[in-house]
Amino acid sequence: MIEMMYREALRRAIDEEMQRDPLVFLMGETIAERGGSYKVTEGLWRKYGPQRVIDTPIAEASFTGMAVGAALVGCRPVIEILFIDFAMLAMDQIVNQAAKYDFISGGQGTVPMVVRTQGGAGNGLAAQHSQSLEALFYHIPGLKVVMPSTPQDAYGLLKAAIRDEHPVVFIEHKLLYMTKGPVSEEETVIPLGRADIKRSGTDVTLVTYSHMTLKCLEAAALLESEGISVEVVDLRTLSPLDKDTVLSSARKTGRVIIVHEAVKRGGIGGDIAAMLMEEAYDDLDGPVLRIAGRNTPIPYNLNIEKACVPSVADIVEGVLRMV
């Protein structure tokens, strides 16, 4: 394994895939010579040239639509939408075009494109640059949604996303780009749709993804010193959802809390809780809980911003309430 930052792991995935397949190309705002606002594409413009690492004007709707068109004629575009908030400008192309084409055409053509974007609060960027909007995409049949928490997962899952025949919304987290972790030296593709048990435990299951995985692991370490054994299931891919891993962990511990940064109302947590009710009710020792973002736009001030998303203390408290 090699120690690598999350953003370096993403870059390595893109680099390897561009090397492997000349039909992979990149489009986005200031991703070329500047290397992207979060430096994920740094150095790729120099290596692959302006034909394959393409700066676009600020035109999310149309460059997302261009990815659909390029995918339909045989390419594998990877676009970067700088903030998930800006993906709202491209919803027609993501939801009505990319997600529908294979179905509408009766299977005449798939849309192998990746929308890389990032979300989440934590840098004082206020309400239009801090949202967690994954549920909007999770709700749409025809889209895959990936939210890796570690450099290794970011690396292996992005490679799988680029190779996938269908549109993938690949959501990074702004607080993860500088985090470090071990990444396999040999080339690794992590299949979409498989959760990862980041920590084994027997008393309570925390189902989570993206940046909240780190907080759940921190909470689990604290709880261990109190004699509570917590299992942390990192979904990694929201759609397709790895039901089997969630269900078997729930059956093992009998107690489940879903933890996500996105607003609780209408979030992924509600859907997973309902799934557990439908399929594992008899194996549960009590109601499924959700620990999630508060029902508010994200404020600018760092103190009140922090209060809007779950903290390690919130997770510890939730587990203690349950056992």
Partner 1 sequence: MPTPPAKGGSPRPPEPILLGMYRSIYATRQFELKCIELYRQGLIRGYLHPYIGQEAVAAGACAALNPADYIVSTHRGHGHCISKGADLKLMMAEIMGKATGYCRGHGGSMHISDKRVNNLGANGIVGAGIPIATGAGMGIKVRGTDQVVVVFFSDGASNNGVFAESLNLAGIYGLPVVYLLENNHYAVSTPIECATGCCDLAGRGPAYGIPGICVDGNDALAVYREAAAAVARARRGQGPTLIEAKTYRHGGHHVNDPGLYMDPAVLAEWKARDPLLRTRRAIDDDARSAEIEAQVDAELEAAVAFATNSPEPSVDAFLAGIEDR
Q: Which residues lie near partner 1 (CB under 8 A)?
A: 23, 25, 27, 51-52, 54, 56-57, 59, 61-75, 77, 92-93, 96-97, 101, 103-109, 239-241, 243, 275
Question: Residue 227 has which token pair?
Answer: 């004699």
Do 252 and 282 touch, CB atoms closer than 8 A? no
Please give the structure tokens belonging to residue 14: 């893109």
Element (H, E) at 110: none
Looking at beta carbons only, is 38 or 209 nearer to partner 1? 209
| Smallest distance, partner 1 to C-beta of residue 65, A | 3
CB 168 within 8 A of CB 193: no
SS3 of 237-259: the string is EEECCCHHHHHHHHHHHCCEEEE
What is the phi-psi region of residue 126: left when phi exceeds 0, alpha when psi lies from -120 to 50, beta otherwise?
Answer: left
72 vs 291 by CB, closer to partner 1: 72
Q: Are 297 and 283 in contact (CB under 8 A)?
A: no
Q: Work out how close the CB of 263 gets to partner 1 at its nearest, in angstroms, rounded to a whole number.
A: 21
Question: Which residue type occupies 20?
Answer: R
Catalytic residue among 17, 29, 60, 134: 60
Residues 29, 80, 129, 260: which is the catalytic one? 129
Identity of the residue, 25 or 137, whose beta carbon is nearer to partner 1 in the bound complex: 25
Q: Residue 51 burial by CB count (10 A; 0-12/13-18/19+): exposed, middle or buried?
A: exposed
End-to-end CA, the chain? 37
CA 61 to chain centre: 21
| Closest to partner 1 by CB, 104 or 302 | 104
Query: Coil, helix or strand for 109?
Result: coil
Smaller CB separation from partner 1, 61 or 222: 61
Contact (CB, 8 A) for 118 and 174: yes
The residue (of 89 and 125) whose beta carbon lies closer to partner 1 is 89
Q: In what order do the strands lie in the sheet with 144-146?
A: 53-55, 24-28, 76-81, 114-119, 168-173, 144-146, 237-239
Chain centroid to CA 240: how far? 12
Q: How far is the CB of 307 from partner 1 (least distance, A)?
A: 32
Distance of closest approach, residue 137 Cβ to partner 1, in angstroms: 14
Q: Find the shortest distance in angstroms from Cβ 261 to partner 1.
A: 21
**Residue 224, number of CB atoms within 10 A of its CB:** 13
Q: How far is the CB of 6 from partner 1 (least distance, A)?
A: 27
**Amino acid identity, residue 237?**
T
Does residue 60 have an active-site annotation? yes
Min. distance of Cβ 241 from partner 1 in angstroms? 5
Clarify whether 129 is annotated catalytic: yes
Of 54 and 217, nearer to partner 1 (C-beta) is 54
> Catalytic residue numbers?
60, 129
